[in-house]
Amino acid sequence: MRQESPIAPDEEGLTVSAVVRRRLGCPWSRARELCERGKVALDGEHALDPAARVRNGQALVIDEHMRKPRPPTAAKIVFEDEHVVVIDKPSGVASVPFDEKDRGTAMDSVRDTWRHENRRERALFVVHRIDKETSGLLAFALSRRAESGLKALFKEHALERTYLCAAHGRVSEGRIESMLAADRGDGLRGSTKRPGEGKNAVTHVRVVEALPRATLCEARLETGRTHQIRIHLSEAGHPLVGERVYIRDYRGTLIPSPRLLLHAATLGFVHPVTRARVRLSSPLPKDFEAGLKRLRTDILSGEEP
């Protein structure tokens, strides 16, 4: 069933559902259902609100086979089987909810995708997190067996994880190691030399591209402590571009950025159930690329990087 015709002058100001009901001669409930299921479009856009008002001349399409609109919170799933799902998380989305009322997290986005594709919802088990401000690859377990296996891999640091990041100034390649504590003494996470405090953290840094006032780096995690890359580069004198927390000790000029330029680019592991080798990669998202474009032409007159 497909009907396509413009809104008539005498339909100006009616609700979408009223026009659908008039065209099909169906009950109100059916007209509203068609709208809410994404089977009605106005001027090429899904008319999901049955109570929205129409205008004379708008192109109206009613099509039972019209594809449902992708929900705004849908996840980009890059790997999924019976035991593991990996998504490409955008910046600004929390990995997991902090309380029961939190919505719009990465976990919600996976469930929204399943619903959109009319697939069975399943339990999601958290095995690691990436910062809300960080984009890139994030894994969840779909079975208890996979959960215990993946948690063991993360605990043993037996995964391949590399990040791309842009840091202030001229970054030197090398290995950064310190003991990271939840409070370095001033209320911030950071490195400590106090005996018995902190957990060992190791980051390997490789220079990818020298920029006028910053450096694009690849950071490989040997361990996976909270905010490890952000802290290590900041304490080395090179806070990430877009950093808003670990900048207390930085004395240079901060480069403005609408997002933290940190991206989880690769994730590799031995599948905890099938034992197959899984290696995934994520290209830089458009907002990160836009930030890099600005950095490549960013020259502050009279100041050295």
Active-site residue 102, yes or no? no
Q: What is the largest CA-CA distance in the chain?
A: 81
Nearest-angstrom CA–CA distance, 162 and 78 = 17
> Which residue is it, tokens 């950093």?
243
Dihedral in degrees, nearest 10, Cα atoms 81, 86, 87, 91: 170
Nearest-angstrom CA–CA distance, 99 and 76 = 24
Catalytic residue among 49, 108, 131, 287: 131
Is the Cα dihedral 197, 200, 203, 204 positive or negative? positive
Catalytic residues, by residue number, are 131
